[in-house]
Structure 1
Amino acid sequence: MVKHEVTLVRIYLRESEHILGKIVDYLHDKAKVRGMTVLRAVEGFSENGKLRTSFLVDLSLDLPLIIEFYEEPNKAEVIITELLNEFHLPHIVSSSMWVCSL
């Protein structure tokens, strides 16, 4: 088993910001991250305290989204800096961890 140190990055945004596609394109085409997952929340709130929730009858949604990827620490740092400069994202969280592979 081989261990690799990586940085896990989570980007928090809302559907109403309409930048999900641009960020996904950037991560896939320009940054060429190893892999990425987008999570769509069913409920959440941010620092302003406004609760956002989903019901079956909703026509217009403004739910929380999380974009998550991991990458080598140095490359992740460059990607985070570029994301902040290009998209002015208010909430990015990163953490170092180990990934084990055969």
Structure 2
Amino acid sequence: MKLLDEGQLLRIYIGESDTYEKIPLYEWLVIEAKKQGLAGATVFRGIMGFGANSRIHTSKILRLSFDLPIIVDIVDSPDRIQNFLASVGDVIHSGLVILENTRVHLYRNNVQP
């Protein structure tokens, strides 16, 4: 897949314990992005954070949280990102979703022709 120079970054902040259809929400989002043919997705697990409820989530051993912050990043063209967001927006019940315009400098795999 070739990406245009001008792309969009979709960043979804959710909690580790968020689920959809009995699987982790972050996993469902990545699988759905793959099904829709988006260029790629990456999930990051945070070690500390807080959101709209102002409750701190941390991985510190004395304050062990089972709901650590999760960030799902997806990059593709603005049209494809908008279509994806329209199809998954109702599934995200709590969290934060942001969009950023971005320039794609390199997108390739290591498979030799």
Q: Same fold (TM over 0.5)?
A: yes
Change (3 A) 1:89 1:77: farther
Please show how residues 1-102 of structure 1 align to structure 2 within 5 Å.
Answer: 4-18=5-19, 19-28=25-34, 30-56=35-61, 61-85=66-90, 87-90=91-94, 91-101=96-106
Give the aligned CA root-mean-square deviation in angstroms.
Answer: 2.1
Unaligned runs of 5+ residues in structure 1 are none
Unaligned runs of 5+ in 2: 20-24, 108-113
Distance 1:83 1:68 in 2: 14
* Equivalenced residues, count: 98
Given that residues 6 and 72 in structure 1 are in contact (C-alpha distance below 8 angstroms), is that contact kept between their aligned partners in structure 2?
Answer: yes
Task: Check conservation: 1:43, 1:51, Cα contact below 8 A.
Answer: yes
Identity %: 27
Determine which structure has greater relative contact order: mean sequence separation of CA pairs < 8 Å that are 6+ residues apart, divided by chain length: 1
State the TM-score, normalized to the length of structure 2. Answer: 0.76
- Say which structure is richer in strand: 1
Change (3 A) 1:4 1:62: same
Pairwise CA distance, 1:58 = 7.0
- What CA distance in whole angstroms lies between the structure 2 residues aligned with 1:23 and 1:50? 24
Structure 1 SS opposite 2:79: helix
The change in CA–CA distance for 1:23 and 1:38 in structure 2 (over 3 A counts) is same
